[in-house]
Amino acid sequence: MSPAVEIAGLRKRYSSIFRPNTMALDGLDMVVEKGQVHGFLGPNGSGKTTTLRILLGLARANGGYMRILGHEVPRELPQVIQRVGSVVESPQFFKHFSGHKTLSLLAKTAGIPNSRVLEVLAQVGLHDRAKQKVKAYSLGMRQRLAVASALLKQPELLILDEPANGMDPAGIREMRELMQSLAAQGMTVLVSSHLLSEVQQLCDTMTIVSRGRRVTSGGVDEVIGRHGVGELRVRVGDDEQLSAAAQALETEDVTVTPATDHLMVSGVSDPAWVTKTLADEEIYVSELVRNAPDLETVFLQLTGTAPVDGRYPQVDDAVLPALPTQATAPAAETVTVTADSEESAK
């Protein structure tokens, strides 16, 4: 079974006579397996929107290889686009139309039976407000209307760019529940997001990008487990013992950060090493707790946006290219981008 999305070595350079060239995508690789909710994460300007726009034929790449549902794109996009729903650009609606009328119009234009309108309104939870004008909709409701419009054609793959952008916590939760229910119905969802806790709660797998390249990918828990350096909270007797314990534990690989009444110890793979090392010094542990790593810590470390070190790791060596590399892949369309041909800046 071919994956829902395969991207290898995707490159995109924005050129302008007015400002320096931007390498928005610098050999990006990504694979989204079918039936998954896949989170696409990265700091501002890391190339997420550019990737999704290229995938959907809204912008042209300078190189690389892409397949959607087994079809090479952009060459075979017309054959597959009917199976893909997307909300990538900010959706614009006629404010004086109701949600129902908006979708009816879109269905009619696309040759989709009008019966689908009520189905998708129910799917996104807007059926009660269907007769209301869009201008009375909240941001969350407008986003749901946008998703409803993408669902009209019963897509197998749904691509959403920052669907929770600007929403309040209730709206974010509604959007999460909607995506979960779509995934439960067998749809593949590719969703870009800044909201790390959302991705942790919602997604099965994810790709983290930075500066136009993949830094890691895999199951959400697996990535956190692979990259997250969990910390240990260690408590011993009194203050004197605390500083003696800090001295005993600090090594080249182990970092000890003293807190008021405990130590935070990182770089230790086996907590038993802590108890043994301290017992050898006749210091006895009264509490030893492992703080589980979270996605935020992993994200900040991997994308180099952490406020420490300034270290920026390149593509994760653990992630092997799953697709033909550029040398063996059919050459993707290579374009020379000029100021005239470039999309307008965001």
Ligand X SMILES: Nc1ncnc2c1ncn2[C@@H]1O[C@H](COP(=O)(O)OP(=O)(O)OP(=O)(O)O)[C@@H](O)[C@H]1O
| Residue numbers at the binding site for ligand X (CB under 6 A) | 14, 22, 24, 42, 44-50, 342-343, 345-346
Per the listing, tokens 């090594």 go with 251
Task: Give 48 or 129: the residue with its C-beta nearer to ligand X.
Answer: 48
* DSSP per-residue string spanning 230-247: -EEEEE-SSHHHHHHHHH
Task: Give 320 or 345: the residue with its C-beta nearer to ligand X.
Answer: 345
Task: Give 48 or 71: the residue with its C-beta nearer to ligand X.
Answer: 48
For residue 264, with 0-12 CB atoms within 10 Å meaning exposed, 13-18 middle and 19 or more buried, which class applies? middle
Task: Give 24 or 66: the residue with its C-beta nearer to ligand X.
Answer: 24
Distances (CA, A) of 284 to 88, 97, 153, 163, 270: 57, 71, 65, 51, 17
- The tokens for 291 are 């703080």
Q: What span, in angstroms and rounded, lies between the C-alpha atoms of 75 and 201?
A: 35
Closest distance of CB 343 from ligand X, Å? 4
CB 322 within 8 A of CB 29: yes
Q: Mapping DSSP to helix (H, G, I), strand (E, B) and coil, where does residue 98 land?
A: strand
Distances (CA, A) of 273 to 59, 277, 299: 54, 6, 28
Closest distance of CB 12 from ligand X, Å? 8
Closest distance of CB 116 from ligand X, Å? 30
Task: Give 275 or 305: the residue with its C-beta nearer to ligand X.
Answer: 305
Closest distance of CB 69 from ligand X, Å? 23
- The tokens for 57 are 């034929």
Q: What span, in angstroms and rounded, lies between the C-alpha atoms of 296 and 42?
A: 11
Closest distance of CB 45 from ligand X, Å? 4
Task: Give 165 or 266: the residue with its C-beta nearer to ligand X.
Answer: 165
Task: Give 184 or 345: the residue with its C-beta nearer to ligand X.
Answer: 345
Q: Which amino acid is at 45?
A: G
Q: Mapping DSSP to helix (H, G, I), strand (E, B) and coil, where does residue 45 land?
A: coil
Closest distance of CB 21 from ligand X, Å? 9
Task: Give 17 or 345: the residue with its C-beta nearer to ligand X.
Answer: 345
**Other beta carbons less than 10 A from residue 118's beta carbon:** 14
Nearest to 179 by CA among 203, 154, 207, 153: 203
Task: Give 104 or 193: the residue with its C-beta nearer to ligand X.
Answer: 193
Q: Which amino acid is at 335?
A: V
Give a three-class secondary structure readout of 187-229: CEEEEEECCHHHHHHHCCEEEEEECCEEEEEEEHHHHHHHHCC
Closest distance of CB 90 from ligand X, Å? 11
Closest distance of CB 155 from ligand X, Å? 22
